[in-house]
Amino acid sequence: MASTSEGDGMDLINWYYQRRMLNAMVQNKWTEAEHFTRKLIRHRGASVGLVYNLALITLGSGRTQEAYAQLLESVETYGESLRLCRLLGDIAYLDGKRQESLQWYGKAEDEAQSPKELHLIRMRLKILSDPDWYGRVLGILSLVDQAQQAMEKEPNRAWDLYRKVVLEDP
């Protein structure tokens, strides 16, 4: 049974696991984030939000296909939502799966309400609808890894690499 503080019904175990999960995610401590997310799921049960966070953590850990599978399972369990479809679209986009990405972004577009979100999704759909443009984007995406590696010791080089990517993939 979960412990609670007196009078307010707050689940301190839930709060602790959630704080640890979120702090680890912000710090890119993926093993720790996964550990506390799984503890949280065992403690309070799965939810679309926790499964989504677990997929983000899995993705952050570099296990792209596992994250994609987790998200597909989440769509089967909870149904399509903006968050799930958008992240499935993002993974497929980065993985060179043009048709899958078009499908997921199309579904995300139907769910999006924020002008910023709609703009990004529509930009991705525009890129995906032009196979030559999308091919150029795929060719330049490796610069993101190079930029991340250069961030600490060569910030100007990292900035230049990121600019090249953004010019091709706004």
Instruction: Show the tokens assigned to 112.
Output: 């999006």
pTM of the model: 0.83
Name 11's bridge partners.
Answer: 4
Residues of the chain above pLDDT 90, percent? 86
- Using CB atoms within 10 Å of the CB of residue 121, give its burial: 0 to 12 exposed, 13 to 18 middle, 19+ buried: buried
* Other C-beta atoms lying within 10 Å of the C-beta of residue 128: 21
Helices 12-26 and 48-60, packing angle to 10 deg:
30
Average pLDDT, the chain: 91
- Per-residue pLDDT reduced to its tens digit, 72-110: 999 999 999 999 999 999 999 999 999 999 999 999 999
- Per-residue pLDDT reduced to its tens digit, 21-62: 999 999 999 999 999 999 999 999 999 999 999 999 999 999
Per DSSP, the three-state class of 28 is coil
CB 68 within 8 A of CB 60: no
Name 109's bridge partners.
Answer: none
Nearest CA to 89 out of 54, 63, 128 is that of 128
